[in-house]
Structures are given as structure tokens and as C-alpha cells.
Amino acid sequence: MIVDVHGHVSAPSELYAWKAGLLAHRGSHGVRPPRISDDQLREAYTAPNASFGDVSHFHHLDTAGVDVQLISPRPYQMMHSEGPARIVEAFTEEVNNVIHRDTELFPGRFRGVAGLPQTMDLTVEQWVPELRRTVTELGFVGALLNPDPYEGTRVPPALGDRFWYPLYEALVELDVPAIVHAAGCRAPAREPYSLHFIQEETVAIWSLLSSDVLKDFPDLKLIITHGGGAIPYQAGRFLPSGVRSGATPYLDRLRTLRFDTCLYTRDAIELLLKTVGVDRCLFGTEKPGTGSQIDPATGRWFDDIHLLVDEIEWLTDDQRESLLHGNAESIFAL
């Protein structure tokens, strides 16, 4: 059994053509979503896709042995820094609706993870109704949390700031995890969005562990994507300061968070597991996505995370089962 906690929606081109129209007229022509048939939704998962290495979404899941995948919006498409707010709200709601339809068309294969309308033209309290709708009405099991709604254009409050507390309160009340995953990175910028993800995850961990968030919300469940950005691999930079301040040892604080295994080398995954512990990690691939390219050195997909995990010989059978599905089933109440 494999549960993949890091997947993104595959959608017909009509959804993104509608988004382009929203950006062109900024809502002046209305925000009514396109009509997309069930057959079009099915085809998005079953037809070969050049962006996925000329195979289908399902081909990737089937050959990797993924039984259940948690799917959320494609983060770089979420346009949190655009305006007016109504187009961000409309697009977010419709993508969530598409994800819900996918879970009904392929029962048991997908579970929904919500996008939130994180435009800074709204208050955090105004993001929460979409979280409530998706969890209580659509059966979603979590939400994406973008730590940079400005998408690189300004500096947002860090995740340790009380600015975020209304969202944390709602997540705890609904008892669903948040998957920390940045969205786009608008030009002009020093970095592409893939690097932006890693930078934002790194800052997110630093901010959370330097704040009272996890003391104020001990039941808050946060999963940091892409193996936690840079922090688990640079943890030594933070160990001395913890000793100097007499604070809880840094690695103990790091273990209050959870991490996915969306890393494309065995060495990186192994170091993550050794640093934070297998019990704090959840299997994630982002498949199909950035890693869906054949590695010429091995002939395998870079994002065949299951094969990389298989190569870690010191994992016990119980640890392997926990990593592949048990931890996810517990955290997401699957």
C-alpha cells in the first residue's frame, strides 16, 4: 500500500484558458467558470501528456504502485498575487470543485487537498470559508498553505506571526493538516518558482520554530513539502544557538513538524529520515510534475521515489510501512 501525500490536479486546458481570460479582463466580464465534462476530466488523467514525459498521470501512479494520491491545485497556477480578489476567489473555488469531481470520478484513488484564496487583498479570516466548505461539504482532508501570497513581489508576514492565527485556529478546529507549499514567483525575480518553493519552506521552518505557534496550537499539523527546504540538511547551523540560549534542542523542535519525501535522490531522502525520524515523514512524490523526466544515468523517472526508498536498506519493515502509508493514514485520518 502506498499513499502519496504530494500530488497535484491534472485538469483540462479549458480550466487554464478560463484563468487566462480572468487575468485578461480582471473579472469585468464576470467570473462564471467554464463547462467541463466528466469525460474531459477523465481524459486529463488517462491521456498521454507531453509535460509528464509523454505518458498519463495514471501511468505514473500505476507504475509507481501509488494506491491513493492526495491532490491539490498546481501551486504555480494559483495566482495569489493577482487582483482583484474576486478572480482569485473564483479560480480557487473552481479548482477545488474540479478536484472534488476528480475524487468522485475515481473513488478511492484521490483525496482532495484544498487551495485557499490567499490574496492579500482579503483578510486571513476571509480565506477560511473556502477551507470550511472544502472540508465540511466536499470531504477534503487538508489544505495547501502558501507562506508567500505576494509570490515574491513583497515580503509577507512570516508563518510565526500572529497574522496567520485565524487560519491556524480553523485548521485545528477542523482537525485537518496544512501542507506548506509556496505558489508562484512573479517576474522579475532572482529565482524560478521551484527554487522559490525551497526558499519559502526554509524560511517557514525557521519562523515557526522561532515563534510560539506550536505552543499556542499544540494540535496544529503542518507538513513541510520537498523535504523541508534546506533546513534538515543544514540543521547543524542551528544546533549551537539552541545550546547558547538554553532552549529545547533544535532537533527536538524540528520534530514538531512533519515532512514529505519529495526529494529526487536517495541520499537526500536518507538524510531527511535520519535527521527528523521516519515517524515524522510522509511519502510524497509530486508525481507527475517537476521530476517526471527519465534519468539518463538510470533509465528511471527522477520522481520514482518508491524505488529510492526501496534502496534504503536500514529501514525496518514497520518503518517502511509507516513511511509508505501508515503515517499519512494517521495524520490525514484516511
**What is the average per-residue pLDDT within 235-255?**
91
The pLDDT of residue 282 is above 90? yes
pLDDT of residue 245: 85
The pLDDT of residue 244 is above 90? no
**What is the average per-residue pLDDT within 225-238?**
96
Of the candidates 61, 63, 136, 67, the residue with the CA atom closest to the CA atom of residue 326 = 67
pLDDT over 90 percentage in the chain: 96
DSSP annotation of 246 reads T
Active-site residue set: 286
Per the CB < 8 A criterion, the answer to whether 264 and 302 are in contact is yes
pLDDT of residue 67: 98
167 alpha-carbon distance from chain centroid: 16
The pLDDT of residue 241 is above 90? no
Mean pLDDT of all residues belonging to the chain:
97
Cβ burial of 268 (10 Å; 0-12, 13-18, 19+) is: middle
Dihedral pair phi/psi, residue 44, rounded to 5°: -60, -25
CATH fold of 3-331: TIM Barrel (3.20.20)
DSSP annotation of 49 reads B
175-186 pLDDT per residue, tens: 999 999 999 999
pLDDT of residue 246: 85
CA atoms of 316 and 271, how far apart (whole Å): 16
98-152 pLDDT per residue, tens: 999 999 999 999 999 999 999 999 999 999 999 999 999 999 999 999 999 999 9
Angle at which helices 85-105 and 124-136 cross, to 10° = 20
pLDDT of residue 242: 81
Helices marked H in the chain = 13-25, 38-46, 57-63, 85-105, 124-136, 165-174, 193-209, 213-216, 239-245, 250-254, 266-276, 305-310, 317-321, 327-331
